[in-house]
């Protein structure tokens, strides 16, 4: 596990949209298992399903702009023994078709692989309607559902391949913009596990999706400030790897969660539930604070909504204060 830690990514890191890794992973999953099929709701290129569609035209189904149909057709395909990946933008799936997911996939326990692309504020110029911030929250409360948010394109590829051999309903969120790559093909990934990416003693930063990249950038800033941060990357939000998180908190005694979504009910909510019942320590949630997004350039929006490395740094300082001087500060 030791070699999992950072590999100088800060100096010459590459960027690629996470969804590209999904496209490659789906193609590989399709090559590994002929039961893998795919459906899309008129966003085949955009969600990167085109690679699969071009290679397996008989196993790809264009559903049209019909997200309710998308997931229920997926349920039927799963009933017929297939492993269906169904993709659209997260704002529409699971945004529009939540009841169909709840009844025909979650309650019905069909192993449909729901892929919501273009999640988060970094969707950018399209604005609030398309910046899905509530998907983690929505999907996390569904029984039987596994919720995944890989951190970069390399991890998304592994995650997609792992989903194809997981027999539960899965939701995976993807992002539109190119984001920093901080894992390698050798970095371990397993559904249900969280990973310590940076060891530290003062504060634990628990982050998911591409926000782990921002958290890792913040590590350097904080090191200069004299704060030793532990970073845990959480690509599986449900089931949450509570053991790894609690073990770290027993050492650091304070936690900052970071996600590109609503802080209510998302990863921050999940960690609040975990520590509230097991190990109450000071918590600060970095995320979108009960409001909607707006148009703008991705980096501009990350800064405006307080989701960049600098804001993570300030949040860690804040939690250090609380840890050292109690909640009054």
Partner 1 sequence: MKPLSYSRLEVIADDIRQDIIKMLEHAGSGHSAGPLGEVEIYVALYFVIMKHDPEKIDWPERDILIQSNGHCVPVRYATMAHAGYFDRSELMTLRKFGSRLQGHPERLRLPALESTSGPLGSGLSQAAGLGLALRLDNQTHRYIYVVMGDGELDEGNVWEAAMLIPKYNLHNVVAIIDRNNIQIDGLTENVMPLEDLKLKWQSFGWHVIEVDGNNLESVVDTLTMAKAITDKPVAIIAYTIPGKGVDFMENDYHWHGVPPNHEQAKLALKELRSLKGKITGEHN
Quote the least distance from Cβ 60 to partner 1, whole Å. Answer: 10
259 catalytic, yes or no? no
Which of residues 24, 59, 158, 311 is near partner 1 by CB under 8 A? 59
Catalytic, out of 67, 155, 177, 230: 67
Cβ–Cβ under 8 Å, residues 170 and 148: yes
Which of residues 23, 25, 74, 261 is near partner 1 by CB under 8 A? 74
Determine phi and psi for 167, rounding to 5 degrees. -90, 15
From residue 28 to residue 47, the character string flagging contacts with partner 1 as x (rule: CB under 8 A) and all else as - is ---------x----------
Which of residues 14, 32, 79, 250 is near partner 1 by CB under 8 A? 79
Q: Which of residues 119-158 bind partner 1 (CB under 8 A)?
A: none
Quote the least distance from Cβ 162 to partner 1, whole Å. Answer: 22
Q: Is 168 in the site for partner 1 (CB under 8 A)?
A: no
Q: Which is nearer to partner 1, 29 or 267 (CB)?
A: 29
Burial of 1 (0-12, 13-18, 19+ CB in 10 A): exposed
> C-alpha angle with apex 132: 175 to 286, nearest 5 degrees?
80
Cβ–Cβ under 8 Å, residues 101 and 114: yes
Q: Is 212 in the site for partner 1 (CB under 8 A)?
A: no
Per DSSP, helices labelled H in the chain are 9-12, 18-32, 50-55, 67-79, 98-100, 135-140, 153-164, 211-224, 242-252, 267-278, 298-304, 309-325
Which of residues 48, 50, 75, 248 is near partner 1 by CB under 8 A? 75
Give the orientation angle of helix 18-32 with respect to helix 153-164, to 10 degrees.
30
Quote the least distance from Cβ 96 to partner 1, whole Å. Answer: 10
Q: Is 58 in the site for partner 1 (CB under 8 A)?
A: yes
List the one residue out of 157, 98, 143, 136 whose CA is nearest residue 288: 136
Residues in the chain: 329
Which strands, in side-by-side order, build the sheet including 236-238?
60-62, 36-40, 83-89, 113-117, 170-173, 146-148, 236-238
Q: Residue 19 and residue 40: Cα distance in Å, rounded?
A: 14
Q: Is 104 in the site for partner 1 (CB under 8 A)?
A: yes
Which of residues 31, 33, 103, 201 is near partner 1 by CB under 8 A? 103
Which of residues 46, 109, 295, 300 is near partner 1 by CB under 8 A? 109
Q: Is 82 in the site for partner 1 (CB under 8 A)?
A: yes
The four Cα atoms 93, 87, 147, 197 give a dihedral, to 10 degrees, of -130
Q: Is 113 in the site for partner 1 (CB under 8 A)?
A: no
Catalytic positions, written as ranges: 67
- Write out the residues near partner 1 by the rule CB under 8 A: 37, 58-59, 61, 63-64, 66, 68-69, 72-82, 84, 99-100, 103-104, 107-109
């Amino acid at each position: 596990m030791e070699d999992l830690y950072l590999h100088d990514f800060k100096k010459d890191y590459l960027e690629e949209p996470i969804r590209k890794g999904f496209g490659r992973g789906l193609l590989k999953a399709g090559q590994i298992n002929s039961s893998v099929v795919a459906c899309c709701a008129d966003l085949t290129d955009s969600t990167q399903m085109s690679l699969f569609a071009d290679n397996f035209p008989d196993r790809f189904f264009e559903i049209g702009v019909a997200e309710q149909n998308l997931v229920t057709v997926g349920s039927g395909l799963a009933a017929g023994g297939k492993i269906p990946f169904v993709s659209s933008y997260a704002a529409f799936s699971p945004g529009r078709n939540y009841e169909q997911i709840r009844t025909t996939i979650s309650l019905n326990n069909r192993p449909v692989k729901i892929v919501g692309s273009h999640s988060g504020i970094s969707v950018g110029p399209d604005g609030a309607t398309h910046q899905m911030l509530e998907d983690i929250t929505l999907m996390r409360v569904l029984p039987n559902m596994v919720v995944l948010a890989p951190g970069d394109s390399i991890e998304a590829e592994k995650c997609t391949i792992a989903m194809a051999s997981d027999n539960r309903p899965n939701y995976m969120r993807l992002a539109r913009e190119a984001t920093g790559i901080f894992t390698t093909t050798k970095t371990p990934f397993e559904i249900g596990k969280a990973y310590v990416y940076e060891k530290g003693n003062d504060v634990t930063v628990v982050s998911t999706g591409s926000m782990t990249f921002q958290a890792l950038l913040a590590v350097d800033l904080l090191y200069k400030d004299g704060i030793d941060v532990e970073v845990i990357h959480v690509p599986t939000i449900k089931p949450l790897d509570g053991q790894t998180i609690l073990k770290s908190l027993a050492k650091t005694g304070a936690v900052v969660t970071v996600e590109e979504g609503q802080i209510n009910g998302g990863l921050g909510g999940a960690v609040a539930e975990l520590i509230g019942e097991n190990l109450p320590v000071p918590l600060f949630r970095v995320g979108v604070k009960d409001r909607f997004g707006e148009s703008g350039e991705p980096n501009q929006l990350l800064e405006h909504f307080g989701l960049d490395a600098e804001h993570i740094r300030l949040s860690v300082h804040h939690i250090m204060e609380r840890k050292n001087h109690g909640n009054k500060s």
